[in-house]
Structure formats: structure tokens, C-alpha cells
Amino acid sequence: MSVNENDQDAPIARGSQLARALDDFAVPELPAGFADKVLVAAQARPAPLPELRRSGGGGARGWRLGRRIAIGAVGFGALATAAAATGLLERVGVPVPTPEKVWASITGKERVPPVVAAPAPAIKPPADPAPAALAPVRIEGAIDTPEELAEAFRRIDEVRQGRMEARRQLLDERIEREKERRRAAGLPVPTPEEEARLRQRIEEERTRREGLASQRIEARREELRERIESGEALTGEDIIRPLREDVRALERRERFERLRQMTPEQRREALRRLPPEQRRELMEAWRQRQQQRLRDGVPAAVDGPVPEAPPQDMPEVVSPSGIAPDESPR
Amino acid sequence: MTASGEPSPAAPAADDAALVARLAARDAVALREVIARYAGPLNRVAFRMTGDAHEAEDIVQEACLRLWDHAPRLAARHPAGTPAGGALRLSGWLARVVTNLAIDRLRQARRVSGEEVPERADEAPLADAMIEADQRDGTARALVLALPERQRAAIVLTYYEELPNAEAAAAMDMNIKAFESLLHRARAGLRQAFAAQGDAR
């Protein structure tokens, strides 16, 4: 064995024992008729398939482009159809308390809720004489009897019912306006079946929300009844204070909602533009919500220290009396 | 010259593009020229890879037919008289096809038989010659055919066919670093096997 063969990585040297052994590997010749056999086989070979024109060819490129356009058009149509329902849903304001606030939160227009400066519902005489005529109980001064409290609740319920009816009308008008807008813009308009499903969803959501609101109202009313029964006299402030708290909660919630709909960059910019005290208040509210969520075992928001959307099952913001904060009792 | 003293397959390649153009035009004479020029070297590679004359003949025939099929595409990519045409090396193209076919068949045979190397010398039409040669080349055959197929291809292409590492790597669709690593393992394996045979003798 040559020295070279001790080097495992070196080429096999000619003349070495290993090379001589390898060179003994003789190869038989191809048969004499090999070329003829191949030629016959070549002639019998089916014609090759045309080459795929993967590059440079206008046809293939054109087809791919056309296919992409077709896919895009179909996708756009599907999205537009979905938007016809979901966009409409957003516009009619299913998840927020009032249609006006839905509109404000979606369009991003700053709409400051009216400050509740109206007198307390319990001490203001009803604007509508008819309910007053049906309700002989008069409320004078502080509310200190169950009858006066019940009368206040009754008037408030009337306001609430009227308000819910007004909401339904607004909803109908808004759906019609949105359909008109879509027709004018050449956008897909929901079919009657789609509209029926949409309205059903809205109605189910409204029923659910009103049910939650009613539970909350009833709980607060029960507290007020107990206070009356314990001999306490309720002033307008007793009713207005939670109302104001609700106003602030609503403002925060609307701001949360607007922030949630922004991109992270827009969100950071919006937070930066807020006055420092409002920013602090917002962040503090967010922290409290996060802590509450952690206590409740609800997963935290995924995008960091940005106010997340309020839970969808948040009950309608109402005062203990049952009136939304942006409305004054008549 | 190759290790066996046969003419090197590195035939002049300047007219490969013209030859391919004629193949694309379905010129049977061109195919015959290709066979005359390249079938011998291809047969050596195929036989030393498989150890089976019949198998080697099939592989070479299949390679020639694939060239026949691919000629229009090759001619379009390497037009004669252009730099692209000048870069065409049919020997390399065919060596790659033959190497891949041989490796495929070895793997297929291993899957079917469960053996590392198909030893079917007795079934070959040249069985008598093979038997006579067995005494002489038995050691070499055993050494080469004992290598894993890719290592075997590396030895066949670089030692027997004397291809530069870069061309052998191209024939095996490998980058040069990976091929050199493979070749290193092949040489080491060959030397160890040869040393073991010597010890056994």
C-alpha cells in the first residue's frame, strides 16, 4: 500500500495498489446493435409535450394575470357582499347604546355627550301631560315614599319606552339610508333575505342588551327602594350621581372603541394628542379594566397597553333610573 | 484517457449546440452521432454504478431517449452560434441523467430486494464473460459496489471518468462543497474496504 493510501482524503494515486485494484473493474461493451435499437425506440417515442412557457411567454403570463384578476374580482365580490351585511351592522350600531353614539364611534366624529345638567327625573314634572294625568301621585321635593319612587320609575319607564321606539325608527331610517347610499355608490345591496337576517340579528342583539339593561336597572332600583324603606329621602343628586358616572363610563367606552378601531400607529398618535390628564385617566381606566379582567379570568388584551374594546356583553349604559345619560327625562 | 484506457468522454463540445439543434429537428443521424460519441462513456458510468451490463444498457438507452425528448427545449435554451450554445456540454448533461438514473435504479432495487447491491451477474447475457472476469475484477467490483450509491457515483465520476470535481458535482446536482465532502467519505470508505480485503487475504 502506497503512502498516498494512508491519507484518507487524498485522491487515489495512479499506480497505487488501490488504483490497480480499481482498474481491474472492466466494463463490457455495449451490444453492436445498440444504436439501431435506440433509434427505433426514438422513432416510436411519442412526440414530446410542448414546453411549459413559464417565463417570457405572454400567453402564460397573460393567463396567470387574468386568473389573478378573476380571483381578485371574486374575492372582492365576496368581501363586498360580506361588507353589505357587516358594514350595515356597524352602521346601524348594534353593539353600542344609542344609534347616535354608534354613528359617532364608527365615523370617528367627536361627539361630546351632553352634560347631564337637567334636573333630576324624580323632581321634574313630566313634560307630557298625559302620563301625569294617569299618575295622580305628585312628586314634591325629595322622594321619600315608595309611591313617589314608583311614580318616578313609571315616568322613567315611559321615557325609556319612547326612547327604545325612537331607536327602532332611527334604525329603520338608517338601514334605508344605507341601502340608498349603496345603491347610489353601485355597491351590493342586501337581498330581502339578507336584510331579514340582518334585522333579526339586530333584534336579537337589542333584546339581549335590553334584557341586561333591565337587570341592571332593576338591581339599582332595588337599592333605591331599600333606601326609601329605611327612611332615607332621595334627592335628585342620588339619582344623578350614578348617571354622571355612567356618562363618564360611556365617554371612556366610546374612546376605547374609537381607539380599538385605529391602527397601532394611529392609536399611539391619538393617545399622544390627548391632554395629559385625559390620557392618564384613560390609561388608569384601562389598567383597572385589565386588573378586573385578570381577576375575572378573562384573557388580557393582546396589543399591549392600549385600551381594548369593551366586552360585547357590557350592558347598556343606563342610570339607576333607567334613563340613558344623554337623555333628560321629560 | 480514463482509467481503463478508453477515450475520454470530454469530446469537443463546440458543436454540441448544433448537434442538439439537429436532434430538435428530429434528425436520426444526429442521434446516431450522439450515441457514437457518448454511449461508451455513459455505459462505463452506468455499469460501474450498477454492476449489471443489462441494466447499464437500459440506462444509457433511456438517457439517449431523454436527450431526444428534451432536444427542442435544450436547443431553445442553447441556440447554436450563441454564447449559450457554446456553454452547452452534452457530456455533462448526459452524465447527470445517467448518474441519476443509476442511483434511482439502485434505490429501487434495494427497496424491492432489500439488499444493498443487486448481484445478478449470472442472469446477464454476458454471463460467461463476467464469470471469466470475476477472478480478475472481483476485488474491484466488490470494492466499488460496496459503497453507498452516491459515494459510488462520486468515485466513478472522478476516478474512472476523471471528471473534475466541479463537473462531477454538477452531474450529481450537488454544490462543490457537499460533493467534496461526499468524495472524502467515499475515498475513506474505499481505502478502509481495500485494507480490510488485504487483511482478509
Residue A255 has pLDDT above 60, yes or no: yes
Residue B169 has pLDDT above 90, yes or no: yes
- CB distance B140–A23 less than 8 Å? yes
- According to the model, what pLDDT value does residue A236 have? 67
- According to the model, what pLDDT value does residue B23 have? 92
Q: Given B70, B139, B190, which is nearest A24 (Cβ)?
A: B139
- According to the model, what pLDDT value does residue B30 have? 93
Average pLDDT in the A10-18 region?
85
Average pLDDT in the B31-56 region?
93
Q: Helix crossing, B53-77 with B28-50: angle to 10°?
A: 130
Ordered by start, the domain boundaries in chain B are: 16-200
Point out the least confidently predicted range of A82-96, A120-134, B159-173: A120-134
Q: A20: how many CB neighbours lie within 10 A of its CB?
A: 12
CA distance B197 to B138: 11
Contacts of A45 in chain B (CB under 8 A): 65, 68-69
Between B2 and A41, name the one with better pLDDT: A41
The helix, strand and coil proportions of chain B, stated in percent and rounded to the nearest 5, come to: 75, 0, 25
| Average confidence score pLDDT of chain B | 81
Point out the least confidently predicted range of A204-213, B20-29, B172-181: A204-213
CA distance B144 to B195: 14
Instruction: Please check whether residue B72 touches A, CB under 8 A.
Output: yes
CA distance B160 to A23: 8
* Residue of chain A whose alpha carbon sits nearest to that of B39: A30
Residue B39 has pLDDT above 50, yes or no: yes
- CB distance A11–B160 less than 8 Å? no
Contacts of B158 in chain A (CB under 8 A): 11
- According to the model, what pLDDT value does residue A209 have? 81
C-alpha distance from residue A25 to each of A19, B144, B195 (Å): 10, 9, 18
- According to the model, what pLDDT value does residue A127 have? 45
* B residues 90-149 lying closer than 8 A (beta carbon) to A: 126, 129-130, 133, 136-137, 139-141, 143-144
- CB distance A12–B187 less than 8 Å? yes
What cell numbers appear for A231 in the block?
327612611
Closest Cα partner for A328 from A150, A75, A113? A113
Contacts of A8 in chain B (CB under 8 A): 184, 187-188, 191
Contacts of B140 in chain A (CB under 8 A): 21-25
CA distance B92 to chain A (A): 20
Residue B84 has pLDDT above 90, yes or no: no
Q: pLDDT per residue over A63-120, tens digit each?
A: 666 667 677 766 666 655 555 555 544 454 444 445 455 444 444 444 444 444 444 4
Between A283 and A248, name the one with better pLDDT: A283
- CB distance B190–A18 less than 8 Å? yes
C-alpha distance from residue B101 to each of A35, B108, B118, B163, B173 (Å): 19, 10, 15, 18, 13
Between B103 and A272, name the one with better pLDDT: B103
Closest Cα partner for A52 from B16, B94, B76, B79? B76
CA distance B78 to B88: 7
Instruction: Please check whether residue A184 touches B, CB under 8 A.
Output: no
Residue B100 has pLDDT above 90, yes or no: yes
Between A82 and A19, name the one with better pLDDT: A19
Residue A327 has pLDDT above 50, yes or no: no
Ordered by start, the domain boundaries in chain A are: 94-296
CA distance A68 to chain B (A): 28
C-alpha distance from residue B201 to each of A15, A20, B139, B150, B197 (Å): 20, 16, 11, 28, 6
Closest Cα partner for B98 from B64, B142, B70, B134? B64
- A234 forms beta bridges with A143
- CB distance A41–B61 less than 8 Å? yes
ipTM of the complex: 0.77
Average pLDDT in the B173-185 region?
92
Count of CB pairs separated by less than 8 Å, A with B: 108
CA distance A42 to chain B (A): 6
Residue A38 has pLDDT above 80, yes or no: yes
- CB distance B137–A19 less than 8 Å? no
C-alpha distance from residue B160 to each of A6, B43, B87, B155 (Å): 20, 12, 24, 7
- According to the model, what pLDDT value does residue A246 have? 63
Point out the least confidently predicted range of A38-47, A237-246, B87-96, B110-119: B110-119
User: Kindly report the CA angle at A29 between A27 and A35, in degrees rounded to 5?
Assistant: 140
Which stretch, A27-41, A265-279, A303-317, B121-135, has highest mean pLDDT?
A: A27-41
- According to the model, what pLDDT value does residue A36 have? 93
CA distance B24 to chain A (A): 11
Which pLDDT band, with edges at 50, 70 and 90, does B129 fall under? low
Residue in B48, B50, B68 to test binding to A, most A beta-carbons within 10 Å: B68
Residue B54 has pLDDT above 60, yes or no: yes
* Residue of chain B whose alpha carbon sits nearest to that of A41: B65
Helix (H) or strand (E) holding A245: helix A236-261
- CB distance A45–B70 less than 8 Å? no
Residue B119 has pLDDT above 60, yes or no: no
The DSSP code for B78 is: S
User: Kindly report the CA angle at A174 between A168 and A179, in degrees rounded to 5?
Assistant: 130
* Residue of chain B whose alpha carbon sits nearest to that of A28: B53
Residue A329 has pLDDT above 80, yes or no: no
C-alpha distance from residue B28 to each of A298, B4, B46, B93 (Å): 78, 30, 24, 19
CA distance B111 to chain A (A): 26
Residue A57 has pLDDT above 60, yes or no: no
What cell numbers appear for B107 in the block?
434505490
Provide the percentage of residues in chain A whose pLDDT is more than 70: 55
